[in-house]
């Protein structure tokens, strides 16, 4: 029997308090809620996330987490998806629903599909949103229960959720946590809010052939985030979803089925063929524009820009052009002139870190038929050098230029627009864990970067995870605002890559110390990887974009 008379010492924000054993973390959070502008959704106990229904059983230091914190916002998003699903099932009726799926994120909103014996229109969404608000006002508990995995598989088969049943078929653990909201059961990857009263900010809107579940602003979770989608990226993600449907793999369970039945090689070859065809199509589009002399490639970290530029160059040669790679890093200003960020560190990602004037001068001279000596940046000395690397444009010559500012016309302001072909590249994964648990594209890129940094730079997973928020801030400033200025979008995601990366990354994540700030994220990624069966690297083509991260490719990178 639980001893609730024993007092535990709890430290919050430097304040030491005493609570009886068995006190819920939610009760403790209420005592400190006035210190926070947003609702406390989780607590962190000595580098371990705890849901608010959990009970105090030891002396500890607690950190309160709201939607301003990444784990808190993730908790809010999962919980509001659960609320939306419950409301939709209430309004339409379970018997009328064929499938409700959360496909991917667009501009702080989740794009969802709904299929069944009903009409998806504004009137239906108004009813669902009204039901969501009714459920939120009722402060209904979101209950967590551990059940036998076999029972969960049966539960989801009977509920017409085959993706969840298939996912759990490959679960090693004998038990699984199921969440229940007013009699509606579901499985979610991660933590949940304690009840529906925490879910105040959301909205539903028709979009394309589905609908949007709009989410709170990350900067101010009390307000709905503005919806400013990249039309080109949204279209590319939709196209990727259609491709996966043709491959028969939309969810992790279906990928695991293919691996378990020795069909992984078929999936790998089909995916690589699709990617090569897309690269060839882009090369042909460039060749069909005789005025193009500069192919400008930009995208967020770990998108595979370098391998893509090599593969595109090969396709450009097949189209009769003579591609030459140019790294914009060679046009850094000397380090002594590099701007500093708000922390007093060199800001290598801002546009002022580039010698924009010299880059434009050199490129215009090339366009005019002059011979130009191109620079090389010496990163050890922090200065540009010249070593006789001369270039003169011939009629078929094309520069393939990769860099974070390549879509920003301020960087190439002197070049005629018709001389530039701009490509935005990103890992836009549309494979999901199941119909209600999406895989964020940022997770796919982070996994790639962890492996590449460890292999090529000797960087620990801890260091990569801790650096990731800074990398993301730079992307939001310097890359994402220019997505829609691109002539085309290239999706570098490979449906099989997480299964391939799993054996490489798991040991790196297990090595993250428990007392590290990166530990919670490492643990979350380990749980994510646990859903996948592994794929060996033996049969991955040497030209594959994923070779940029695991090694063994044919390009000198």
Per-residue pLDDT at 68 exceeds 90 = yes
pLDDT tens-digit series, residues 356-382 = 999 999 999 999 999 999 999 998 899
**Are the beta carbons of 403 and 327 closer than 8 angstroms?**
yes
Q: 297, 303, 321: which is closest to 421 by C-alpha?
A: 297
Q: Long-range contact list for 114-123, CB < 8 A, 24+ apart? A: 114/88, 114/210, 114/211, 116/92, 118/92, 120/206, 120/210, 120/211, 121/206, 122/206
DSSP 413: T
pTM metric for this prediction: 0.92
**pLDDT band per the 50, 70, 90 thresholds, residue 184:** very high
Q: Is residue 335 pLDDT above 70, yes or no?
A: yes
Give the pLDDT score at 533.
Answer: 97
Residue 155 has pLDDT above 90, yes or no: yes
Of the pLDDT bands very low, low, confident and very high (cuts 50, 70, 90), residue 1 is very low
pLDDT score of 120 more than 70: yes
The pLDDT value recorded for residue 3 is 53
List pLDDT tens digits, range 446-462: 999 999 999 998 999 99
Q: What is the mean pLDDT of residues 503-515?
A: 97
Say what the pLDDT of residue 113 is.
95
Cβ contact 252:433 at 8 Å: yes
Contact 443, 449 (CB under 8 A): no
β-strands 7-12, 488-491 pairing: unpaired
Contacts of 36 (CB under 8 A, 6+ apart): 64, 66
Q: How far is CA 511 from the centre of its chain?
A: 23
User: Would the pLDDT of 203 be above 90?
Assistant: yes
- Whether 429 contacts 322, CB under 8 Å: no
Beta pairing partners, 177 = 146
User: pLDDT value at position 342?
Assistant: 84
- Confidence check: pLDDT of 2 > 60: no
Query: Span 312-332, mean pLDDT?
Result: 94
Q: How far apart are CA 254 and CA 267, in angstroms?
A: 11
pLDDT at 4: 53
């Amino acid at each position: 029997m639980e001893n609730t008379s024993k007092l535990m010492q709890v430290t919050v924000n430097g304040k030491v308090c005493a609570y009886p054993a068995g006190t819920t973390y939610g009760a403790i959070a209420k005592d400190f809620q006035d210190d926070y502008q947003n609702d406390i959704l989780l607590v962190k106990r000595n580098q371990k996330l705890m849901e608010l229904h959990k009970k105090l059983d030891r002396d500890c230091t607690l950190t309160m987490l709201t939607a301003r914190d990444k784990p808190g916002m993730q908790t809010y998003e999962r919980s509001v998806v659960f609320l939306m699903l419950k409301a939709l099932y209430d309004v339409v009726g379970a018997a009328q629903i064929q499938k409700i799926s959360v496909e991917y994120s667009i501009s702080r909103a989740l794009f969802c599909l709904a299929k069944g014996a009903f009409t998806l229109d504004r009137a239906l969404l108004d009813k669902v949103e009204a039901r969501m608000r009714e459920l939120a006002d009722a402060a209904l508990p979101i209950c967590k229960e551990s059940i036998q995995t076999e029972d969960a598989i049966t539960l989801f088969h009977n509920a017409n959720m085959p993706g969840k049943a298939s996912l759990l078929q490959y679960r090693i653990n004998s038990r699984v946590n199921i969440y229940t909201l007013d009699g509606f059961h579901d499985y979610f990857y991660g933590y949940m809010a304690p009840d529906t009263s925490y879910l105040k900010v959301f909205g539903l809107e028709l979009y394309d052939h589905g609908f949007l579940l709009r989410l709170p602003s990350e900067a101010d979770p009390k307000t709905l985030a503005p919806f400013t989608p990249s039309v080109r990226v949204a279209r590319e993600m939709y196209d990727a979803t259609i491709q996966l449907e043709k491959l028969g793999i939309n969810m992790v369970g279906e990928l695991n089925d293919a691996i378990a039945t020795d069909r992984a090689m078929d999936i790998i070859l089909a995916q690589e063929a699709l990617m090569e065809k897309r690269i060839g199509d882009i090369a042909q589009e460039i060749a069909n524009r005789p005025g193009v002399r500069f192919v400008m490639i930009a995208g967020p970290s770990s998108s595979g820009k370098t391998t893509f530029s090599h593969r595109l160059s090969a396709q450009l040669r097949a189209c009769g052009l003579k591609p030459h790679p140019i790294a914009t890093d060679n046009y850094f200003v000397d380090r002594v002139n590099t701007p500093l960020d708000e922390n007093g560190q060199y800001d290598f990602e801002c546009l002022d870190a580039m010698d924009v004037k010299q880059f434009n001068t050199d490129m215009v001279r090339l366009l005019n038929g002059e011979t130009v000596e191109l620079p090389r940046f010496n990163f050890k000395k922090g200065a540009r050098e010249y070593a006789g690397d001369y270039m003169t444009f011939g009629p078929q010559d094309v520069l393939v230029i990769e860099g974070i500012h390549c879509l920003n016309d301020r960087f190439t302001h002197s070049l005629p627009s018709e001389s530039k072909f701009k490509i935005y590249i990103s890992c836009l994964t549309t494979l999901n864990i199941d119909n209600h648990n999406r895989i964020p594209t940022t997770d796919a890129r982070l996994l790639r970067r962890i492996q590449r940094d460890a292999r090529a730079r000797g960087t620990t997973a801890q260091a990569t995870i801790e650096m990731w928020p800074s990398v993301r801030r730079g992307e939001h400033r310097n890359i994402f605002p220019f997505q829609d200025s691109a002539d085309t979008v290239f999706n570098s995601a490979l449906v099989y890559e997480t299964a391939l990366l799993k054996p490489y990354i798991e040991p790196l994540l297990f090595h993250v110390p428990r007392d590290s700030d990166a530990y919670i994220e490492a643990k979350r990624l380990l749980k994510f990887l646990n859903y996948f069966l592994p794929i060996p690297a033996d049969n991955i083509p040497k030209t594959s974009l994923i070779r940029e991260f695991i090694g063994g490719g044919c390009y000198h990178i």
